[in-house]
């Protein structure tokens, strides 16, 4: 994103990297990623999003087909299914 991520997404990424569970839930709701009535086990949210934001935490990162396959496998794990319901 040329001008950086929108504030809610940037704050969500920071909360995930810091493993700040309450902040991650709050920012995910502000970003429109979680409905206000969706109950979430915060460790699951942190675990789900960590691989996505980890690449931004490095000075450089090379995206690859293998990384994308691993990410898709991670994101579709059954334990995260409840996070997709609202």
Does 16 reside within a domain? yes
Q: Give the sign of the dihedral formed by CA 79, CA 77, CA 70, CA 32.
A: negative
Q: In terms of residue numbers, what domain contains 74?
A: 7-84
The torsion region of residue 84 among left (phi > 0), alpha (psi -120 to 50) and beta comes to alpha
Q: Does the predicted TM-score (pTM) go above 0.75? A: yes
pLDDT at 60: 85
CB atoms within 10 A of CB 17: 16
The DSSP line for 24-59 is: HHHHHHHTTSS-TT----HHHHHHHHHHHHHHHHSS
pLDDT, averaged per 10 consecutive residues of the chain (86 residues), comes to: 82 94 93 84 83 84 92 90 64
Does 25 reside within a domain? yes
Does 53 reside within a domain? yes
Does 14 reside within a domain? yes
Does 34 reside within a domain? yes
8 and 40 Cβ atoms separated by less than 8 Å: no
Total tally of structural domains belonging to the chain = 1
Kindly report the backbone phi and psi dihedral angles of residue 85, in degrees, each rounded to the nearest multiple of 5, phi listed first.
-100, 150
């Amino acid at each position: 994103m040329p001008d950086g991520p929108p504030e809610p997404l940037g704050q969500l990424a920071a909360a995930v990297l810091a493993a700040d569970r309450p902040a991650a839930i709050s920012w995910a709701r502000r970003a429109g990623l979680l409905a206000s009535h969706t109950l979430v086990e915060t460790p699951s949210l942190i675990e789900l999003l960590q691989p996505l934001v980890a690449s931004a935490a490095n000075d450089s990162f090379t995206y690859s087909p293998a990384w994308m396959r691993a990410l898709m496998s991670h994101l579709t794990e059954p334990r995260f299914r409840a996070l997709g319901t609202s």
